Amino acid sequence: MLKKLFQSFRSPVRRTQHKRSTPEVLNSSQHSLQRAQFSRYAVSIVERLQNAGYQAYLVGGCVRDMLLNITPKDFDVATSATPEQVRAEFRNARIIGRRFKLVHIHFGREIIEVATFRANHPQNEDEEDNNQSSRNESGRILRDNVYGTLEEDAQRRDFTINALYYDPVSERILDYANGVHDIRNNLVRLIGDPRKRYQEDPVRMLRAVRFAAKLNFGIEKHTAAPIRELAPMLREIPSARLFEEVLKLFLSGHAADTFEMLVDLQLFDPLFPASAEALEYNPTYTHTLISEALINTDLRIKQNKPVTPAFLFAALLWPALPARVLHLQERGMPPIPAMQEAAHELIAEQCQRIAIPKRFTMPIREIWDMQERLPRRSGKRADQLLDNPRFRAGYDFLLLRESAGEQTEGLGEWWTDYQDANDSERRDMIRDLSGKDDTAGAPRKRRRSGGAKRKRTGSSDA
């Protein structure tokens, strides 16, 4: 199941990494890239900066993805020009960021990101300029605006496969870190000492997983080795930044594989502590429900169907919720208020780790609330629920729970039939409920379980 990760352990003996002052240069006859493949706006920015006397290249993911025949999601430019100099060249440019100052150049809806070459931070704290660079006590970079040369910029990049510079004018690739070699060998490898690079920015651990899952690469063994030990450093990362990183992890079309790798490398715990606890306490159910949700998310992305982060987070957090609801019920709180109170507490705790915006936390709570309401179908309740704007999401979530092995006494099938029935058939279905427990199918406490993961029985809409 962890095929992508375990590929890394078959990698060759690690080559001694040293700083290269001269790159390996691949001419147009030595690679498959052509300038026409890239965004014409990005190419025009490179040409204009070069004509103004600056160095400029297409860099990073767009070069890597093109070499792998993957359509890049965006195009980045690296240059010797400072942000202020770039802005002076382009009227449609604006400088963004404080921790890492960049320039965004707007062409209608397309935005090209331009970064100035970065250099290594001073090793001596006395030499640091707080306006340009700063670190905390653990070594995490807090400000990164130390500008440098092309050679220094290449060594500052995180992974070898992202340290490739393409000049669309000469159609040459400059490779300072053996990135082309690692692309050919399907490896994600950090540049420099992995422990130090993760301490500089713990999010690089998440990026390693994301690239491995997206590209079907293995994580090189020395790159993977410190991750489990350093995973708790993710707790130091601002919650707003982690929200953006989690969306990248789970909405890139490879969420199921990403989840497996996060759990194996102990990165899931600092992101979703309550869910990680549920995974340990009730592994079969928790793993199956989250996996089913992520498999379906990947499928919808592949089919170009919409995916809402609210449903995704609802599934990721749900396994931690029922025990909390039961605890409140045992203290005398009615089921629906207990669900609402437990949901509020769980989401508040999670937002301290990952800052989920209110536009998503409200639908999450409504999806969960529907799980207590869907079993209550007598009288006019069924029709009222059917008209609820959150009915479809709640119904899909009910099917997800059933696919993970929850026993709801056929509640999902009942609602499936009810949606397809005419008015007369619906009235008969409601009458047939008389004498039955109207709360059958509501969330109940699950016993602790373990062993092999339950065979998947289907997937639900996400």
Residues tagged active-site: 74, 76, 158
Contacts 24+ apart (CB under 8 A), 34-42: 34/171, 35/168, 35/169, 35/171, 37/66, 38/62, 38/66, 38/75, 38/166, 38/168, 39/75, 39/110, 39/112, 41/75, 41/105, 41/107, 41/110, 41/112, 42/75, 42/76, 42/77, 42/112
Rounded Cα distance between 82 and 100, Å, is: 12
For residue 164, the surrounding DSSP H or E stretch is strand 164-167
Q: Which long-range contacts does 384-392 make (Cβ < 8 Å, 24+ apart)? A: 386/418, 386/419, 390/363, 390/366, 392/461
For residues 222 and 191, the answer to whether their CB atoms sit within 8 Å is: no
386: phi then psi, degrees, rounded to nearest 5: -60, -30
CB contact at 8 A, 151 and 176: yes
The closest alpha carbon to 225, from 197, 245, 185, belongs to 197
What is the full DSSP assignment across 109-147? Answer: TEEEEEEEPB-PPPSSGGG--TTTEEE-TT--EEEE--B
Phi, psi (deg, nearest 5) at residue 429:
-65, -40
Is the dihedral angle over the CA atoms 207, 208, 210, 216 positive or is it negative?
Answer: positive
Q: Beta strands 110-116 and 76-79: pairing type?
A: parallel
Give the phi and the psi of residue 35 in degrees, each rounded to 5.
-60, -30
What distance lies between CA 405 and its chain's CA centroid? 26
**DSSP states along 31-46:** S---GGGS-HHHHHHH
Which segments of 269-311 are extended strands (E)?
Answer: none
**Which residues are within 8 A (CB) of 123 and not within 5 positions of it... i.e. 6 or more apart?**
none
Task: Name the strand (E) or helix (H) holding 105.
Answer: strand 102-107
Rounded to whole angstroms, how far apart are CA atoms 426 and 429? 5
